[in-house]
Amino acid sequence: TVSVAEGIRQNRDNQKKEFIEHFFSTMQFVMAGNDTEGLRYGTIETREKYYLTWKESSDIENPLDRALAQLCRKARFLELIHDFIVFDAGVKKLCRHNQYFGVRAAQPYVKQREGGIIWHTQGSGKSLVMVWLAKWIRENATDPRVLIVTDRTELDEQIEKVFKGV
């Protein structure tokens, strides 16, 4: 009976010092949802406009049930918590669906030492995809090495800042 936006605001209010801030200190995912709007997720101190929506095809019609089945399936949820949460300069960040599926799609090619391309648009989270993939390579490859090549100084500076921040 409450909008997702209202649920997000309530979660954010509960994280304030005068309410139950300490309860949220160890949380990885904070979610708000309903049967008509579906589910949006963030983490502690995520501003409302940065709450995310998981997008994946499914036969489940109810938007909330669909999102919960996709995002909170035991194996996936544990994988998201273990492999797809980072602190970027002290700010906890979760992956978007496109980042998760991009990294997962790249992994078999990396295992087979094949090349590949992940096409990104501006603002789609390229730097964090590189961080998550580099982390996976370091944990799953023998004698791992990661080389990042960019075509502009500003991209060099951006990716260096993100990798150092993480």
What does the alpha-carbon distance between residue 42 and residue 111 come to, in Å, rounded to a whole number?
A: 31
**DSSP structural state of residue 52:** B
Encoded tokens for 93? 């960040």
Task: Estimate to the nearest angstrom the gap between the alpha carbon of 14 and the chain centroid.
Answer: 22
pLDDT number for residue 7: 95
pLDDT number for residue 143: 86
pLDDT number for residue 147: 86
Cβ-contact 12, 20 below 8 angstroms: no
pLDDT number for residue 117: 73
Cβ-contact 28, 85 below 8 angstroms: yes
Q: Strand 30-34 and strand 38-42: pairing? A: antiparallel
Burial class (CB in 10 A: 0-12, 13-18, 19+), 48: middle
Instruction: Chunk the chain into consecutive blocks of 10 residues (it has 166) and report each block's average pLDDT, rounded to whole numbers.
Output: 93 85 83 96 93 96 97 96 92 94 93 79 84 93 85 89 90
- Upper half-sphere CA count for residue 159 (Cβ side, 13 Å): 17
- Spell out the residues 6+ positions from residue 159 whose beta carbon is closer than 8 angstroms to its own: 127, 130, 148, 150
Which single residue is written with the structure tokens 């940065």?
50
What pTM, to 2 d.p., does this model score? Answer: 0.88
pLDDT number for residue 20: 81
